[in-house]
Amino acid sequence: MPGSLARDGREHMVRWYCERARPWLADKVADFAARMEVAPAGVRVQDLGYRWGSCGKGDLLYFHWKSILLPAPIAEYIVVHELAHLHEPHHTPEFWRRVERVLPQYERCKDWLKTRGRSRRTLTCQMDDAAYRCKSLATSLETRQSPSLALGRF
Ligand SMILES: [Zn+2]
């Protein structure tokens, strides 16, 4: 396949995922923002390179489009993590207490990202997206559609 065709295909795929990830993430952000008493300015979904999420200037939240390929509880953890940064810019004990208040099982999500990742770094904001490889798209999309997925299953 000529290189340009492959590139077009990838761009199309990324756009497709961004379009689908955005409403889901925006919904989760609205839900958790109310519970965490924060007011993010907006949600952007794009290619964030090695990060799953980031909290930008003006309280904008950014999420990697690949978040939609993660199991729902993991994607929710990323949302909660970034929202907690609106209170605490750094990973202080207070920051983790805020995360824990909303997601008591957050350590498992953190571990999940860490063990599924190639990177030895602590995968929080500096998550290595290239490290996450879903077994197959079909599997992850299927997983994605069952919000009742128990944490114990992964
Ligand atoms: Zn962080």
Ligand 1 centroid vs 149 CA: distance in angstroms?
Answer: 24
**Residues composing the chain:** 154
Q: Where are the domains of the chain?
A: 3-153
Percent of the chain with pLDDT over 90: 43
Contact (Cβ atoms closer than 8 angstroms) between residue 82 and residue 53: yes
Ligand 1 centroid vs 71 CA: distance in angstroms?
Answer: 19
Q: Kindly report, residue by residue over 74-122, the tens digit of the pLDDT.
A: 999 999 999 999 999 889 999 999 999 999 999 999 888 877 754 433 3
Amino acid at residue number 114 = K
Displacement of CA 137 from its chain's centroid (Å): 17
Ligand 1 centroid vs 9 CA: distance in angstroms?
Answer: 32
Ligand 1 centroid vs 60 CA: distance in angstroms?
Answer: 14
Ligand 1 centroid vs 75 CA: distance in angstroms?
Answer: 14
Concatenating the DSSP letter of every residue in 101-145 gives HH-TTHHHHHHHHHHHSS--S--STT--GGG---S-HHHHHHHHT
Ligand 1 centroid vs 83 CA: distance in angstroms?
Answer: 9
Ion ligand 1 — residues with CB under 5 Å? 124-125
Ligand 1 centroid vs 85 CA: distance in angstroms?
Answer: 6
Concatenating the DSSP letter of every residue in the chain gives --HHHHHHHHHHHHHHHHHHHHHHHHHHHHHHHHHHT---SEEEEE--TT-SEEE-GGGEEEEEGGGGGS-HHHHHHHHHHHHHTTT-SS--HHHHHHHHHH-TTHHHHHHHHHHHSS--S--STT--GGG---S-HHHHHHHHT-TT--GGG-
Confidence of residue 25 (pLDDT cuts 50, 70, 90): very high
**pLDDT at res. 122:** 34
Q: Kindly report, residue by residue over 33-62, the tens digit of the pLDDT.
A: 999 999 999 999 998 888 889 988 889 999
Q: What average pLDDT score do residues 7-28 get?
A: 91
pTM above 0.75, yes or no: no
Confidence of residue 5 (pLDDT cuts 50, 70, 90): confident
**pLDDT at res. 140:** 37
**pLDDT at res. 1:** 61
CA–CA distance, 128 with 42 (Å, rounded to integer): 23
**pLDDT at res. 108:** 92
Ligand 1 centroid vs 2 CA: distance in angstroms?
Answer: 39
Ligand 1 centroid vs 127 CA: distance in angstroms?
Answer: 9
Strand 42-46 and strand 60-64: the pairing is parallel
Residue with tokens 């559609």: 145
- How high is the mean pLDDT of the chain? 77
Ligand 1 centroid vs 142 CA: distance in angstroms?
Answer: 28
Contact (Cβ atoms closer than 8 angstroms) between residue 45 and residue 25: yes
Q: Which CATH superfamily is domain 3-153 in?
A: Metalloproteases ("zincins"), catalytic domain (3.30.2010.10)
